C-alpha cells in the first residue's frame, strides 16, 4: 500500500515538473521572438468581441490573452492589463480575433448607441480599410477631421492608376491601429529604416451620397486618410496620375 502511495506521489511530482518546464519553455519562446529588443506584455482578443463589451467583462470572461511583443512595434496606448480603472469603459467598435487591445478603443458607454460611437444626426457611420503610415495612424482619434484620398483601379499597374480627393472633409468615428486580425502580430515593417504604410479599419461619419461613394471606392481602389489641421481647407482637384505626378 505504501509503495502505491509513493508511486502516485512521484507521478504527481513529475507532472508538476513537466508543467513548469513547459511554461518556462513557452515563456522562453515568447522572449526569443523579440530578438533581444525590449519586450512588453500586451492583450489580444481571443475571439470576436462586440462593441459595448466592458473592460470588466473582457477580464472576467477571459476574452483576451496575454502575449509578449517588442515595445518599439506597438502604439503608445497599447493595453497590457485590464485593471479596475477601466471597468466603467466599453468598446466603441467590434474587436476581431487576435486584434490588439488599445486604450483608445474604450469609451464611457452611453444610453444612446448612436451617440456612443459618435454618429452625428443625419449621417451614416461607414467602416472601410484605410492606409496610413505607422506613427501617423496612432495620432488619428475619434472626432478628428480627415481628407479621404483614393487611388484607383486597385489592381492596376502603377502607371495606369490615378489618385484623387474623394472626400475633402470627413469625421472619424473610430480607427483601430492594432495588427490586422488575420495575421500573427509582428513588429512594424520597415524599408531602409522608414515605416511602411499599413491598412487600418476606420469608421467615418458621412452623408448618404458620400457613403455610397466611399463604399464604391473601398471596393475598387485603395483609400488613404490625410489628417486635417484646425484651419486647413481642402478642395476637390483633378488628381494626379503617373504622367502628371511630377511638377
Cβ atoms of residues 70 and 21 within 8 Å = no
Residue found by looking up cell 486597385 in the block: 154
Q: Are residues 26 and 50 in the same domain?
A: no
Query: Containing domain of residue 129, as a range?
Result: 124-178+196-241
* 239 CB-side CA count, 13 A: 15
Q: Are residues 133 and 52 in the same domain?
A: no
* 155 CB-side CA count, 13 A: 2
Q: Are residues 212 and 152 in the same domain?
A: yes
Q: Are residues 66 and 171 in the same domain?
A: no
Q: Are residues 131 and 226 in the same domain?
A: yes
Q: Cis ω on the peptide bond leading into residue 235 (within 30° of 0)?
A: no
Residue found by looking up cell 472601410 in the block: 128
Q: Are residues 148 and 173 in the same domain?
A: yes
Residue 75, in any domain of the structure: yes
**Number of domains making up the chain:** 3
- Please tell me the predicted confidence (pLDDT) of residue 35: 58
Q: Are residues 49 and 137 in the same domain?
A: no
Q: Is the dihedral of CA 213, 219, 221, 226 positive or negative?
A: positive
- Name the β-bridge partners of 106: 91
- Name the β-bridge partners of 90: 54, 107
- Please tell me the predicted confidence (pLDDT) of residue 142: 80
- Please tell me the predicted confidence (pLDDT) of residue 36: 63
Cα 137 to Cα 37: distance, rounded to the nearest angstrom: 23
Residue 247, in any domain of the structure: no
Q: Are residues 209 and 163 in the same domain?
A: yes
- Please tell me the predicted confidence (pLDDT) of residue 148: 93
| Spans of the chain below 70 pLDDT | 1-36, 109-118, 133-138, 177-197
Residue 116, in any domain of the structure: no
Tens digit of each residue's pLDDT (9 = 90 or more) over 83-119: 888 888 888 888 888 998 988 888 876 544 444 456 7
- Please tell me the predicted confidence (pLDDT) of residue 51: 83
Cα 142 to Cα 60: distance, rounded to the nearest angstrom: 27
DSSP H/E element including 212: helix 208-220
Q: Which three cell numbers stand for residue 120?
A: 452625428
- Please tell me the predicted confidence (pLDDT) of residue 178: 53
The distance in angstroms from the start CA to the end CA of the chain is 92
User: What is the CATH classification number for the domain harbouring 57?
Assistant: 3.90.1210.10
- Please tell me the predicted confidence (pLDDT) of residue 19: 43
Q: Are residues 174 and 217 in the same domain?
A: yes
Q: How many CB atoms lie within 10 A of CB 232?
A: 12
Amino acid at each position: 500500500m505504501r509503495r502505491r502511495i509513493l508511486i502516485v506521489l512521484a507521478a504527481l511530482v513529475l507532472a508538476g515538473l513537466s508543467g513548469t518546464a513547459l511554461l518556462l519553455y513557452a515563456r522562453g519562446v515568447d522572449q526569443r521572438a523579440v530578438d533581444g529588443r525590449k519586450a512588453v506584455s500586451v492583450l489580444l482578443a481571443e475571439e470576436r468581441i462586440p462593441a459595448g463589451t466592458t473592460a470588466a467583462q473582457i477580464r472576467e470572461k477571459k476574452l483576451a490573452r496575454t502575449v509578449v511583443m517588442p515595445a518599439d512595434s506597438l502604439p503608445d496606448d497599447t493595453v497590457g492589463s485590464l485593471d479596475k480603472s477601466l471597468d466603467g469603459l466599453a468598446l466603441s467598435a467590434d474587436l476581431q480575433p487576435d486584434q490588439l487591445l488599445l486604450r483608445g478603443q474604450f469609451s464611457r458607454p452611453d444610453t444612446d448607441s448612436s451617440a456612443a460611437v459618435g454618429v452625428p444626426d443625419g449621417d451614416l457611420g461607414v467602416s472601410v480599410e484605410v492606409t496610413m503610415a505607422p506613427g501617423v495612424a496612432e495620432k488619428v482619434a475619434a472626432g478628428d477631421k480627415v481628407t479621404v484620398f483614393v487611388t484607383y483601379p486597385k489592381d492596376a499597374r502603377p502607371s495606369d492608376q490615378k489618385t484623387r480627393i474623394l472626400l475633402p472633409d470627413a469625421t472619424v468615428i473610430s480607427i483601430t491601429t492594432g495588427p490586422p486580425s488575420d495575421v500573427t502580430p509582428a513588429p512594424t515593417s520597415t524599408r531602409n529604416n522608414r515605416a511602411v504604410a499599413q491598412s487600418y479599419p476606420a469608421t467615418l461619419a458621412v452623408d448618404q451620397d458620400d457613403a455610397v461613394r466611399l463604399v464604391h471606392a473601398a471596393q475598387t481602389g485603395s483609400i488613404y486618410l490625410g489628417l486635417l489641421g484646425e484651419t486647413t481647407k481642402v478642395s476637390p482637384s483633378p488628381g494626379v496620375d503617373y504622367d502628371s505626378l511630377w511638377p
